[in-house]
């Protein structure tokens, strides 16, 4: 299998270290540390935002002040000092907004090349359009012209606020309300950048769209906001990737993603999340507190979430679907790997509102080391949702005996015609499986990677090709040192 | 090829092999028979370096190298193959991918280039055909939902592709109907050559009708207690272990 060979190669390349842990030395401009109305005004001014957006932010901030940090998730971490974080940091060279590649600071291009993302190559060879978010700003967006010809909008959220105020006003906060939760309120107040996508009626986006998020500065939070709208009969596949330097302090990432599909439209949203997970003793790493939600507003529309979560010290994340349109479809495919001291509490919510709506949930949790992984999922069938269907499959794989896996399914059915199926399994990588692989010539770590990739196959096959190989490699790397 | 001297192996705190001696030369086929619990599987696991099979005394030398210093995958890279008594299932990993990863890993160990995808496909298809395996089986996850006979056939396909210099086959014939037994025998006979050796662990004479061994050993209570030619298997079949003066609690 190609993946395991490459995984091994990569493992050797990085000699067991997080591969993306370097820091780019670049001059930055920051907001003063901490959070206040002034800082929000600073951010808004930096982005030269319209008045309504500043007012929206300030209202969100007032709301946030009245809210409490949630404690229900099965994660444990010291209290976050929200005044000890920078809420805005941008490379000086990026001051005038995203550019074409020729104008991007070469130091930044080198950073992405080191991360294995050659922007030029992506542009020329892979045919994937990329938006690059470095700390608080979008630094480059490729393929814009070609997309524009098809009527597709693919730009940073800051630009969208200027150039497409009507769309922004209509959709911002329409799926994830400001006060949805503590972190969505925080994000609404201070969000810095992210990606805005609009696919017009009847257009099938001719290429994969992707955003690559990178946290570079120390003590800086990343609060991105992404909105994707698929108008009637359109289709788009969107990919998201993330990395951060290796630091001893924890860093906060609190994103909000809103997806909207109209009649007969489809959005496929894939994530490979590889934020720095902390070292093997649990020091450092990203706190990843993310609200992702899609609304299938139109009939027969579809939203599909696929995620491979290997990074972060703590993951708190529930990509969800509101199945409003009759016949709409929600899917959630997830692989979550935790190793060492990582903690992940992740899952989904499928809210069946329209008639004949259906949802599929396939969750694969892999825990190694002293880590804890929880699947938390809600399937809710509202009274008006005739003939709703859900299928849920939750499998946990344990490596070693010091880790934990938990499954917390909530099922609420208010319509008797609903058909809901739930299956759950917990298994271990057995010594027999490992020995069998080794006896055939595979090294221990390759054997683990192979077995884990097999375990995750039902999810991995939903990833776009470009990401699948990367993701397979990551699985192997994340579990390094977990056996033997 | 293989030289085992005074081998003592402890499993779970219990000594199972108690001073076993065995020499296998290039090109030879040996059969080991013995009562249940005699330590036959223990011998095969100890040879291949399974965790928990602790060699407390003695030595295993393979082509002049000390096997005991090597990890299981290194031993495989040196050309050692174990046909499992109970082949293991690996869900989600296709036979094809599994075997290609394994083969390439062995090649890397030996400092050879990895096999090109096309060449591998040709190789595995040819081997599957020789052993009457439906090519569709190559796409299925390793041993998942395979019948007993299909699992053993799969072991033979793996052996054919990996082309080991010493194959240890642990009861590869057990539980097979006559057609499946013939397939297994075909697999073993195809491997047979002047520079390769085979160690068959079996309960029954009937495999030996198809793969005629050069030597037959009887393993009882952790030692080889009797060695002979192929007629020893026939004698054993006729008289039983008791009739040959072998009791299970010997030594
Ligand atoms: N993990 C283990 N712990 C303790 N005893 C074991 C273990 N595995 C095998 N044994 C014992 O070792 C002896 C030899 O087993 P085995 O090598 O499987 O015999 P055979 O293959 O000849 O039937 C048996 O008595 C068996 O119960
Ligand atoms: Mg046995």
Q: pTM for the whole thing?
A: 0.82
| Ligand 1, pocket residues at CB < 6 Å | B 11-12, 14, 16, 34, 36-42
B99 neighbourhood in chain A, CB within 8 Å: 440
Measured in Å, residue B14 CA sits from the centre of ligand 1 at: 9
Q: Give A337→chain B minimum CA distance, Å.
A: 17
The band of A278, judged by pLDDT with boundaries at 50, 70 and 90, is: confident
Higher per-residue pLDDT: A110 or B35: B35
The three-point CA angle A456-A462-A466 to 5° equals: 100
In this complex, which of B88, B106, B162 lies closest to A433 when CB atoms are compared? B88
Residue by residue, what is the 3-state secondary structure of A195-239? EEEEECCCCECCCCEEEEEECCCCCECECCEEEEEECCCCEEEEE
Query: Phi first, then psi: what are they for A409, rounded to 5°?
Result: -90, 135
Q: Which residue's alpha carbon is at the smallest distance from atom 11 of ligand 1?
A: B37
* B71 at A interface, C-beta within 8 A: yes
The band of A248, judged by pLDDT with boundaries at 50, 70 and 90, is: low
Tell which of B52, B93, B103 to mutate to test the A interface (max A CBs under 10 Å): B93
Give yes or no for residue B209 having a pLDDT over 80. Answer: yes
Give yes or no for residue A359 having a pLDDT over 90. Answer: yes
> How confident is the model at residue A469, as a pLDDT?
72
> How confident is the model at residue A422, as a pLDDT?
93
> How confident is the model at residue A368, as a pLDDT?
85
Mean pLDDT of A45-63: 93
Q: How far apart are CA A278 and CA A311, in angstroms?
A: 9
Of B173, B175, B136, residue with least CA distance to B155: B173
Of chain A, the percentage scoring pLDDT greater than 90 comes to 41
Give yes or no for residue A354 having a pLDDT over 90. Answer: yes
**DSSP reduced 3-state for A470:** helix
Q: CB of A475 within 8 A of CB of A453?
A: yes
* B162 at A interface, C-beta within 8 A: yes
> How confident is the model at residue A74, as a pLDDT?
78
Whether residue A440 and residue B92 make contact (CB cut-off 8 A), yes or no, is: no
* B48 at A interface, C-beta within 8 A: yes
> How confident is the model at residue A77, as a pLDDT?
78
Mean pLDDT of A277-302: 88
Q: Are strands A285-296 and B141-142 parallel, antiparallel or unpaired?
A: unpaired
Name the residue of B16, B45, B48, B200 to mutate for ligand 1: max ligand atoms within 8 A of Cβ.
B16
How many C-beta atoms lie closer than 10 Å to residue A200's C-beta? 16
Measured in Å, residue A481 CA sits from the centre of ligand 2 at: 32
* B21 at A interface, C-beta within 8 A: no
Give yes or no for residue B133 having a pLDDT over 60. Answer: yes
Q: How far apart are CA A403 and CA A424, in angstroms?
A: 18
Contacting residues for A152 by C-beta, under 8 A, at least 6 apart: A197, A198, A199, A200, A203, A205
* B109 at A interface, C-beta within 8 A: yes
Whether residue B73 and residue A451 make contact (CB cut-off 8 A), yes or no, is: no
> How confident is the model at residue A125, as a pLDDT?
43
> How confident is the model at residue A352, as a pLDDT?
98
Whether residue A433 and residue B90 make contact (CB cut-off 8 A), yes or no, is: yes
Q: CB of A350 within 8 A of CB of A381?
A: no
Q: Are strands A153-156 and A195-199 parallel, antiparallel or unpaired?
A: antiparallel
Nearest ligand to the CA of B86 is 2
Residue of A nearest to B44 (CA): A439
Q: Which of A137-141, A282-286, B122-126, B185-189 has the lowest mean pLDDT?
A: A137-141
Q: How far apart are CA A452 and CA A474, in angstroms?
A: 11
Residue by residue, what is the 3-state secondary structure of A1-61? CHHHHHHHHHHHHHCCCCCCCCCCCCCEEECCCCCCHHHHHHHHHHCCCCHHHHHHHHHHH
pLDDT tens, residue by residue, A312-331: 788 888 999 999 999 999 99
Whether residue A1 and residue B72 make contact (CB cut-off 8 A), yes or no, is: no
Q: Which residue's alpha carbon is at the smallest distance from atom 25 of ligand 1?
A: B37
Name the residue of B11, B35, B45, B172 to mutate for ligand 1: max ligand atoms within 8 A of Cβ.
B11
A438 neighbourhood in chain B, CB within 8 Å: 71-73, 76
Mean pLDDT of B124-143: 93
Whether residue B50 and residue A458 make contact (CB cut-off 8 A), yes or no, is: no
pLDDT tens, residue by residue, A104-142: 666 656 665 665 555 554 554 445 566 666 655 555 666
Give yes or no for residue B25 having a pLDDT over 80. Answer: yes
Whether residue A455 and residue B101 make contact (CB cut-off 8 A), yes or no, is: no
């Amino acid at each position: 299998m190609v993946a395991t060979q490459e995984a091994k190669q990569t493992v050797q390349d990085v000699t067991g270290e997080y591969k993306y842990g370097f820091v780019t030395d670049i001059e930055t401009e920051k907001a003063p540390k901490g959070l206040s109305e002034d800082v929000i005004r600073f951010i808004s001014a930096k982005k030269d935002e319209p008045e309504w957006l500043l007012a929206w932010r300030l209202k969100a901030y007032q709301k946030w002040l009245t809210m409490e940090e949630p404690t229900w998730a099965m994660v444990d971490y010291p209290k976050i000092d929200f005044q000890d974080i920078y809420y805005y940091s941008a490379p000086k060279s990026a001051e005038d907004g995203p550019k074409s590649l020729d104008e991007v600071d070469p130091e930044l291009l080198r950073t992405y090349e080191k991360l294995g993302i050659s922007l030029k190559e992506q542009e020329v060879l892979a045919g994937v359009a990329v938006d690059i978010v470095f700390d608080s700003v979008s630094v480059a967006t490729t393929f814009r012209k070609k997309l524009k010809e098809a009527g597709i909008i693919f730009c940073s959220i800051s630009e969208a606020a200027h150039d497409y105020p009507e769309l922004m006003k209509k959709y911002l906060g329409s799926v994830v309300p400001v006060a949805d939760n503590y972190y969505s309120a925080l994000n609404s107040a201070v969000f810095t950048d992210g990606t805005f996508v609009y696919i017009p009626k009847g257009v099938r986006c001719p290429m994969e769209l992707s955003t690559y998020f990178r946290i570079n500065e120390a003590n800086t939070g990343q609060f991105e906001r992404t909105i994707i709208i698929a108008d009637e009969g359109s289709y788009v596949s969107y990919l998201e990737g993330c990395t951060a330097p290796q630091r001893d302090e924890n860093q906060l990432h609190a994103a909000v993603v809103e997806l909207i599909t109209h009649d007969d439209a489809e959005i496929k949203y894939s994530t490979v999340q590889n934020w720095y997970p902390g070292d093997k003793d649990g020091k450092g790493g990203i706190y990843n507190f993310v609200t992702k939600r899609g609304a299938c507003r139109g009939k027969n529309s579809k939203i599909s979430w696929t995620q491979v979560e290997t990074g972060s010290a703590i993951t708190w994340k529930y990509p969800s679907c509101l199945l409003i349109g009759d016949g709409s479809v929600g899917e959630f495919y997830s692989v979550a790997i935790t190793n060492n001291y990582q903690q992940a509490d992740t899952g989904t919510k499928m809210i069946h509102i329209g008639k004949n709506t259906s949802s599929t949930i396939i969750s694969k949790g892999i825990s190694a080391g002293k880590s804890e992984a929880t699947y938390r999922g809600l399937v809710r069938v509202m009274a008006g949702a005739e003939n709703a269907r859900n299928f849920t499959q939750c499998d946990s794989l344990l490596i070693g005996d010091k880790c934990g896996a938990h499954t917390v399914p909530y099922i609420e059915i208010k319509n008797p015609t609903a058909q809901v199926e739930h299956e759950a399994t917990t298994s271990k990588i057995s010594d027999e499986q490992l020995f069998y692989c080794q006896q055939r010539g595979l090294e221990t770590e390759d054997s683990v990677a192979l077995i884990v990739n097999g375990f995750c196959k039902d999810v991995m096959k939903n990833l776009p090709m470009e990401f699948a190989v990367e993701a397979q490699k990551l699985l192997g790397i994340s579990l390094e040192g977990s056996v033997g | 090829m293989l030289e085992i001297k005074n081998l003592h192996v402890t499993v779970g705190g219990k000594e199972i092999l108690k001073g076993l001696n065995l020499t296998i030369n290039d090109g030879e086929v040996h059969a080991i028979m013995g009562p249940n619990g005699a330590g036959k599987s223990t011998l095969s696991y100890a040879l291949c370096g399974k965790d928990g099979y602790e060699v407390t005394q003695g030595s295993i030398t393979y082509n002049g190298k000390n096997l005991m210093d090597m990890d299981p995958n290194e031993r495989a890279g040196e050309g050692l193959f174990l046909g499992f008594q109970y082949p293991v299932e690996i869900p989600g990993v296709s036979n094809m991918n599994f075997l290609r990863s394994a083969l390439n890993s062995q090649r890397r160990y030996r400092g050879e280039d990895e096999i090109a995808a096309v060449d591998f496909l040709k190789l595995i298809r040819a081997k599957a055909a020789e052993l009457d395996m439906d090519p569709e089986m190559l796409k299925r996850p390793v041993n998942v939902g395979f019948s007993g006979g299909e699992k053993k056939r799969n072991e033979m396909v793996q052996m054919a592709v990996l082309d080991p210099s010493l194959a240890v086959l642990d009861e590869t014939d057990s539980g097979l109907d006559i057609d499946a037994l013939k397939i297994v025998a075909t697999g073993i006979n195809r491997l047979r050559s002047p520079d390769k050796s085979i160690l068959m662990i079996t309960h029954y004479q009937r495999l030996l009708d198809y793969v005629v061994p050069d030597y037959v050993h009887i393993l009882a209570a952790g030692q080889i207690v009797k060695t002979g030619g192929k007629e020893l298997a026939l004698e054993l079949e006729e008289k039983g272990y008791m009739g040959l003066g072998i009791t299970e609690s010997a030594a």
